[in-house]
């Protein structure tokens, strides 16, 4: 199982989740330009969602894994869908957590304009506002240690890597919203009830494109509910993976 973190964060996002996945071989890594991963320059051409999907395949190649379950948070839930399109033979299933989808024309233009401005402005200028979008007020007050971790991860992102990933988060959604697209792989979608950037309506739209897909909405939480209440997010993911295991075992018994 490969866990894919979100924009401006790091693989450390998953530290509080790993205990829930202790029975599975779990891999985390840093997106390009985040954490310990270097940025990649391609002249004037920004990186694409396909580039970040190729990084997942490279991780699988590095560890010698033919296929994996891909659990993606936020932009990670875009990346794992892109891997299904580009390298479907490498994907056992996907879980899409708090990931954006069709924003509507006006909101899409506004998001792309903000992402383009990151290259010329202060990429840390919006961090305080982001923290308020990501966490409930009570959690911000009660857990300054977690807020400090998120702030540290954000400060550790290379400016080029952040700008590239911000553009992909904004613009890459367009690649995934074509209603004719179908992702023929076992899938699971969830988000938080109060996630303003990855809304329940977006989660439902993603689920409609996926294969026989359940959609779970976690009440009360915001974008980084995964850190506020790991059990509320990891539990349903484990149930989803366990159901796949049970289905495979049943098929094996039927053919024995």
Q: Kindly report the CATH number assigned to the domain that includes residue 139.
A: 3.40.50.1820
Write the pLDDT tens digit of every residue in 176-221: 998 788 788 999 999 999 999 999 999 999 999 887 799 999 999 9
Binned at pLDDT 50, 70 and 90, residue 75 comes out as: very high
Write the pLDDT tens digit of every residue in 146-177: 999 999 999 999 988 898 999 999 999 989 99
Does the pLDDT of residue 246 top 90, yes or no? no
**Strand pairing partners for 91?**
68
CA-based nearest residue to 60, from 36, 41, 40, 87: 87
Does the pLDDT of residue 4 top 90, yes or no? yes
- Burial track 170-187 (b if 16+ CB lie within 10 A, e otherwise): bbbbebbbeeeeebebbb
Does the pLDDT of residue 49 top 90, yes or no? yes
Q: Cα–chain-centroid distance for residue 179?
A: 21
How many Cβ atoms sit within 10 Å of the Cβ of residue 42?
10
Residue 172's domain comprises: 2-254
Binned at pLDDT 50, 70 and 90, residue 144 comes out as: very high
Write the pLDDT tens digit of every residue in 109-123: 988 888 888 888 787
Give me the number of domains the chain comprises. Answer: 1
Does the pLDDT of residue 253 top 60, yes or no? no
**Strand pairing partners for 27?**
2
How many Cβ atoms sit within 10 Å of the Cβ of residue 166?
24
CA max distance for the chain: 62
pLDDT value at residue 254: 61
Q: Where are the alpha helices (DSSP H) in the chain?
A: 49-63, 75-86, 105-117, 127-134, 137-142, 144-155, 159-171, 173-176, 200-209, 225-228, 230-254
Task: Report the range of poorest mean pLDDT among 51-60, 77-86, 190-199, 209-218.
Answer: 209-218
Take residue 109 and report the two structure tokens written for it.
Answer: 């233009």
């Amino acid at each position: 199982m490969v866990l894919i973190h979100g924009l401006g964060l790091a693989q450390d996002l998953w530290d509080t989740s790993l205990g829930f996945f202790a029975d599975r071989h779990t891999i985390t890594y840093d997106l390009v330009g985040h954490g310990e991963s270097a940025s990649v320059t391609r002249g004037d051409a920004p990186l694409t969602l396909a580039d970040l999907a190729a990084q997942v395949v490279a991780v699988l190649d590095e560890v010698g894994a033919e296929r994996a379950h891909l659990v993606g948070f936020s932009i990670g839930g875009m990346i794992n869908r892109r891997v299904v399109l580009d390298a479907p033979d490498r994907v056992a299933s996907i879980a899409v957590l708090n990931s954006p989808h069709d924003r509507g024309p006006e909101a899409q233009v506004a998001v792309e304009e903000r992402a383009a401005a990151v290259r010329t402005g202060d990429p840390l200028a919006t961090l305080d506002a982001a923290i308020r979008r990501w966490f409930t007020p009570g959690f911000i007050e009660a857990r300054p240690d977690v807020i400090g971790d998120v702030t540290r991860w954000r400060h550790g992102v290379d400016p080029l890597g952040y700008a590239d990933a911000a553009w992909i988060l904004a613009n890459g959604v367009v690649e995934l919203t074509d209603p004719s697209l179908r992702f023929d792989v076992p899938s699971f979608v969830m988000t938080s009830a109060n996630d303003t950037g990855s809304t329940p309506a977006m989660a439902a739209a993603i689920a409609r494109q996926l294969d026989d897909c359940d959609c779970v909405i976690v009440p009360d939480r915001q974008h980084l509910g995964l850190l506020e209440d790991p059990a509320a997010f990891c539990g349903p993911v484990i149930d989803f993976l366990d159901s796949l295991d049970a289905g495979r075992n049943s098929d094996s018994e039927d053919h024995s």
